[in-house]
Amino acid sequence: MPAAPSTADGLLARLGPTAHPLYWVCGVHLLLAFLLFDPKPFLGGDNYWYMLLGESLRSGDGYRDLWLPAMPPHTRYPPVYPAALALLGFVANAPLLFKLFSAACTTGIAALAFLLANERTGDRQLAVMAGLLVGAAPIVVEYSHWVLSEPLFTFLSMMALFAFTRDGDGKNPKTLAIGTVAVILASLTRSAGYPLILAVVIAFAVRRRWKQCAIFFGVVVIALGAWWLRNKMAVSGDLPYSQWIMFRDPYNPELGTVTMGEMVARFWFNFKRYTLAILPQSVAGRDVTGSVAGLYGVVLAVPIIIAAFRNIKRPRVVELYFIFYMGLILLWPEAWGDQRLLLPVLPVAILLMLEGLAWLARLVAKTDQRTALATFVAAVALVAVAAFGNVRIMSSAVDCTRQYWRGDRFACYPVPATDFINVASWASQGTPTGSVVINRKPQIFYWYARRRGDNYPYSTNPDSILNFMNNQGASYVVVDRWSATTYRFLVPAIQANTQLFGLAHQEGDPPTFLLTYRPGGGR
């Protein structure tokens, strides 16, 4: 049951409308997001992939991978986020505009964290702290300027959690509709939305709300079934995430798939990694490492676990979603463990942490006032640590942004990445239209070169790589210094067949090469 409103409510009620907690929660996040804003594209390939999918939808080509030689239908990423980019692209096909959309989503996440905490606890003071801590968390601030689907997915998930928390029994048709639509859109933004579906179904079942459960599940199955059927009928050649998860190493598929014992070991390894490194770094900064990160992670994790399992006999949708989502990412390959996977559930983790701290405070405090004071002091300390995590990198971030606006479009990029992009830019004019270029970052290469291509196979067999290049109709290949896999897989294949390759262009010192490829012999 919700706790009694704190004594802070009376003061807040007397404040003017501009002093409403939502203004402060959103304002703090927007201030930090503005000060650390990075106008350059993120160097991971996924954001370029999303922008190209949006471009494909906007151009009328359908939902396809434009950067691949065959332009197959895309089946890996659900379409909601690319569709949002496609709509924004009618205004301007510019990463800067897409980044502002991400900032709007993360601002909404902070606001929903406040609303969700207030709805669950009735404690306005705790709710304000939850919103501020989410808004100031370094990982949330960082993703406010990346063109990735996580901010939109997290926003939609939080909207669904708020709707089903406000009306846990689903008696209000309007709330049920809003929550259901939010769940569908979230699940069509990222496949990781399926734990949210399971959480809502079980929460309804526990409360014996069979009618609402049937309506919700039926609508969700129809909506997601259409996406599933489209993918079953499409011929893309892409592997589903369920198969990637089973690889021992997704970057080296030749190692095979995991056994049940290895899956248990992976779960335990990921649990320790998320608890002792990824979680503390997400709320305190990436530079928090070693024993400091481990100790802080334990301090954070204990109240989270207490709050998540304290009412396990009658679980609510928030706790169920947290448990199911964490169970999913703890089974992902160790090579993929990252703050990016934690971000969608981090606002929920922060809320549970504050609830757990409040519960622990009640155990040791003798009065409600002391409990509220202890919780308030602990929450303020956590917010201060999060804010300081942003402050520590603010100077370098502002300097990089200043260099960018002064004309250096590669400001603070690593040199190998800059060389790779320069090679792609040269290829846009220096290679024939329709050339196929094999390279490690084909989405990024296509964005700058408008030349299709694909990543080389992660195989130590040179013949496998050459056969792949022949099947793709490749006429060029990039030897970059950006990725270690290039030297592990691609370079040995070139060294074993030097007569098939010739130099077309190079950038940097040591150089990044664009090589010609001719199955009948190079020059």
- pLDDT band at residue 257 under the 50/70/90 scheme: confident
Token duo for residue 423: 């090679």
For β-strands 512-517 and 501-507, DSSP reports them as: antiparallel
Q: Which residue has the higher pLDDT, 252 or 136?
A: 136
So what's the pLDDT on residue 355?
Answer: 94
Peptide bond into 151 cis (omega under 30): no
Q: State phi, psi for 67 to the nearest 5 degrees.
A: -80, -10
pLDDT tens sequence across 58-76: 999 899 999 999 999 998 8
Higher pLDDT pick, 504 / 313: 504
Instruction: Identify the residue with better confidence: 372 or 111.
Output: 111
Span of 18-27, 234-243, 367-376 with lowest mean pLDDT: 234-243
Tokens of 415: 């040199």
Residue 501 has what DSSP assignment? E
What is the pLDDT at residue 241? 64
**For residues 450-454, average pLDDT:** 96
- pLDDT tens for 424-439 read 999 999 999 999 999 9
Residues 320 and 318: their CA atoms lie apart, in Å, by: 5
Structure tokens at 301: 């994790």
Give the residue ranges of DSSP H helices in 310-414. Answer: 317-329, 339-342, 346-364, 368-405
Pick the range with the lowest mean pLDDT from 3-12, 97-106, 213-222, 386-395. Answer: 3-12
Hey, which bits of 163-269 come out as E strands?
Answer: none
DSSP conformational letter for 410: T
The whole-angstrom distance between residue 103's C-alpha and the CA centroid of its chain comes to: 14
- Contact between residue 470 and residue 519 where contact means Cβ atoms under 8 Å apart: yes
pLDDT digit string (tens) for 237-250?
Answer: 666 666 777 777 77
Taking only the tens place, the pLDDT of each residue in 461-472 is 999 999 999 999
More confidently predicted of 231 and 490: 490
Comparing 33-47, 286-300, 360-374, which segment has the lowest mean pLDDT?
Answer: 360-374
What share of the chain has pLDDT > 70, as a percent? 94
pLDDT-derived band at 12, boundaries 50, 70, 90: very low
Q: What is the mean pLDDT of residues 469-486?
A: 95
Cα–Cα distances (Å) from 348 to 187, 191, 345, 352, 479, in that order, read 17, 18, 5, 6, 43
206: left (phi over 0), alpha (psi -120 to 50) or beta: alpha
Residue 33 exposure: Cα atoms within 13 Å on the Cβ side: 25
Partner residues linked to 476 by β-bridges: 437, 516
Q: Where are the alpha helices (DSSP H) in 406-451?
A: 415-430, 442-449
Q: Is the pLDDT of residue 520 over 70?
A: no
Predicted confidence at residue 169, as pLDDT, reads: 79
Q: Tokens in use for 116?
A: 């969700």
pLDDT for res 498: 93
Token pair, residue 421, equals 């992009």
Whether pLDDT at 366 is above 80: no
